[in-house]
Chains A and B, each alone.
Chain A
Amino acid sequence: MDFQLLVDIFPQVLLDGLILGFMYALIALGYTMVYGVLEFINFAHSEIFIVGAFAGVEILLGLKGAGWLDGLPWPLVLLLLLLAGMAVSGLLAVTVERIAYRPLRSAPRLIPLISAIGVSFFLQDLIRLVESIWRNAFNLVYPTLDALNLRFELTETIDVSVKSIVVIVAALGMLWVLHLLVNRTKIGTAIRAVAEDQAAASLMGIDVNRIISLTFFIGGVMGGAAGVLFGVQYGLINPYSGFIPGLKAFTAAVLGGIGNIPGAMLGGIVLGLLEAFAASYLSLLTGGAFGAEYKDIFAFSVLILILIFRPKGLLGEIVRERA
């Protein structure tokens, strides 16, 4: 075993894990927002997330087709993509809530779950249908923005690209905005009130339906932004590529304590780091007997262990059994 190698790559793996973690965190926010208010797993969030990525790539391809891409400064292009992705995903999330979840609000909790799974299947192939008619291809590639691909070599084995920094900055910024929104504004108070007790909130003059729509919108907006960043960071998207990151992000949300916003962030980062270290180090440490293919097992085993010792997740409040 090459000890020097393990040490050399450590900072790079740490960085890789953080970037992946922030990506999970952004998606996980969508799960956690909705869960916090409705106690319901929005399984279709992974598709809402990938729709954002598709909205972004369409804008980008449109700009490229019109020949404007080289003329515009890259932060403006990125902002445009993010806004498009956020708007489309936010509206989609609200629409899905209105059609597929609202009629089921009083039903037992597993009923909307199945409805969400149905929506997930439906949206995957709907995206595919639309894109195959529109572009005759449903595997879309984000055109590269050269400025985003710039890399800074810190040492021989460590380097960081502009787009990775963008992901981290965007994720932190959105968490901060979300934090302000939920804790410092009237809307945020209303959201928290609805999460606490829907009936009481409506007695206090809060329009519960509107607040729930708004919650879905915010979750969708986060998902859309994550989708665009996902596309920019990794390059290739297809209608089915939201599913696995969605599942991981859901895991991250639970790991952090579902319904808890800082928890989703923490859970995402922990999961990202676990995966990165497992994928990079397992093969080196075991001499090739176990390799990167075990990263999910490793991540899930740690998840199970954490949940055994903290059954409500890392930051989940330990409430007394309902009294």
Chain B
Amino acid sequence: MNRYPVRLALVLAVILGLAALPAASNLDAQGKGTIKIASQSPLSGGQAALGEGIKLGVQLALEKLKGGLEKRGFKVELVPFDDQAKPDVGVANAKNIIADKDIMVIIGHLNSGVAIPSSEVYKEVNLAMVSPANTAPDVTDRGYKNIFRVCGRDDVQGPVGAEFAKGTLKARSVYIIHDKTTYGQGVAEFFKADAEKKGIKVLGFDGTEEKSNFDPIITPIKAKNPDLIYFGGIYEQAGPFFKQAREKGVKSKFLGPDGLDSSDLARIAGKAVVGMYYTSVAGPASLYPQAKQFAQDFKRKFGRNPEPFAAQAYDATAIAIKALEAVTKGGKAPTRDAVTSAVRDVKYAGITGTVEFDDKGDPKKAVYLVLQVGSEDPAKWNDNKAARILTIAAPRKK
């Protein structure tokens, strides 16, 4: 035992020496005139692909749009955090974020389960959080002044799908599958409620955490032969499901929410998803010219196609930068309170339509598109055509 203090002393000495380094760089970075934008999303673990998409969307927007702020003499930096899709890590990061006085806006998260406890922390200092992906109603329904989102809400997107299923597809029966996450189950439940109201027969409502083997789920679906299959979830899971379903000879039409909006879905499922419909607020190139530009920029910079919610992350960042520009007019240093109230006043036409926030932080009027996959070639994902366009305001709190 007696050797410990000696060894410990050595270790402490080394740490003390090292401590000078980041401390110095910290002081340097805290000089007047740095504005930091933080992102929080899972960068490691099973949900890393989506989380990374969000981070890259933020990074792209920052690099393209920070010029205006830099002209006013500010240094603009991105601070990416990895929340590991875990609520406790997200909260610890959030505390770290609010302790850094230069961070003016946070773009995140991927999971509503991480966003809700973390936003309780942001609220303490009125730090604006602009969410690219949290569709659960609870995120904004708590009525916090500092929480915004550019994505849709489950209780809007589900009914949009149901409206399309009834009105355009004339489906008489539907089988609903979801992925047992906040997102997938949330949107699937709202779809189910609305579909039943509209008189579509729901033949089954199943959740599964399975990622690879869908055989046992497909067998009863095939036997019941529904007109339509609704998949509430993310493309990584939906891809193998659709592929295996078609291989097993299921003939039903496919429909899903914006988690399916990825060219990777075509890469995974190939011709199985040709003709599939999905609802999204992010528009195709034919409708929004900026969307084409975004897809090209993303591909050029990172060498691959954007994941779902990357476009939303880009827009969220663009809104944050607009708010920062409004606040820093005349070279004034921004404050968190000022930025938060400026975000509420932003009106911005982006890749995901024109965003304007209501008093809860939801987009006032969301334009929902129902798109149809046109080709099995992932490169042509952006040419998907809109089958229907619906404009819907966010529901008021009950």
Contact = CB atoms under 8 A, between A and B. Distances in A.
Interface of A: 5, 8-9, 12-13, 16-17, 19-20, 23, 125, 128, 136-139, 141, 144, 149, 151, 153, 157, 159, 161, 230, 233-236, 238, 240-241, 243-245, 275-280, 283-284, 288, 291-293, 295-296
A141 B224 contact: no
Interface in B183-233: 204-213, 215-217, 219-220, 222-224
B204 A283 contact: yes
Interface stretch (B132-140, B239-247, B360-368): B239-247
Contacts of A151: 247-249
Contacts of A291: 204-207
A67 B212 CA distance: 28
Contact of B216 (A137, A153, A280): A280
User: What 6 pairs across the A-B complex have the smallest Cβ distances?
Assistant: A279-B216, A16-B215, A234-B212, A293-B207, A276-B216, A240-B46
Nearest to A276: B216
A9 B220 contact: yes
Name the residue among A5, A12, A20 with the largest chain B CB count within 10 angstroms.
A12
B215 A19 contact: yes
B77 to A, nearest CB: 24
B205 A8 contact: no
A141 B267 contact: yes
Name the residue among B205, B206, B220 with the largest chain A CB count within 10 angstroms.
B220
A141 B44 CA distance: 20
Given A159-B248, A159-B249, A293-B206, A236 B216 contact: no
Nearest to A163: B247
B80 to A, nearest CB: 16
Contacts of A138: 48-49
A234 B216 contact: no
Contacts of B247: 149, 151, 161
B216 A230 contact: no
B312 to A, nearest CB: 20
Given A136-B304, A279-B217, A144 B224 contact: no
B212 A280 contact: no
A235 B264 CA distance: 13
Nearest to A237: B212
Contacts of A244: 211
A297 B246 CA distance: 28
B303 interface: yes
B247 to A, nearest CB: 6
B212 A293 contact: no
Contacts of A234: 212-213, 240, 244
Contact of B215 (A20, A141, A238, A293): A20
Contacts of A292: 206-208, 210, 216-217
27 contacts: A9-B220, A9-B223, A16-B215, A136-B304, A137-B304, A138-B48, A141-B268, A153-B249, A157-B219, A159-B248, A161-B247, A230-B212, A234-B213, A234-B240, A236-B240, A238-B46, A238-B49, A275-B216, A280-B219, A280-B220, A284-B220, A291-B205, A291-B206, A292-B208, A292-B210, A293-B207, A293-B208
A29 to B, nearest CB: 19
B87 interface: no
B45 interface: yes
B270 interface: yes
Interface residues of B, number: 39
A293 B299 CA distance: 37
A136 to B, nearest CB: 5
A5 B223 CA distance: 7
A297 to B, nearest CB: 11
A276 B217 CA distance: 8
Contacts of B215: 16, 19-20, 276
B180 interface: yes
Nearest to B247: A149
B213 A157 contact: no
Contact of A5 (B45, B207, B212, B220): B220
A279 B240 contact: no
A74 B252 CA distance: 31
Given A139-B236, A235-B243, A240-B46, A5 B216 contact: no
Contacts of B206: 283, 291-293
A218 B264 CA distance: 35
A244 to B, nearest CB: 7
A233 B244 CA distance: 9
Given A151-B247, A292-B206, 20 more contacts: A9-B219, A16-B215, A19-B215, A20-B215, A144-B270, A151-B248, A151-B249, A230-B212, A235-B240, A235-B244, A236-B211, A276-B216, A280-B216, A280-B220, A291-B205, A292-B217, A293-B206, A293-B207, A293-B209, A295-B216
Given A159-B249, A291-B206, A241 B216 contact: no
Name the residue among A136, A275, A293 with the largest chain B CB count within 10 angstroms.
A293
Nearest to A231: B212
A13 B216 contact: yes
A313 to B, nearest CB: 24
A293 to B, nearest CB: 4
Contacts of A277: 216
Contacts of B302: 136
A276 B216 CA distance: 5
A275 B210 CA distance: 11
A235 B268 contact: yes
Contacts of A235: 239-240, 243-244, 268
A45 B300 CA distance: 38
Contacts of B219: 9, 12-13, 16, 157, 280
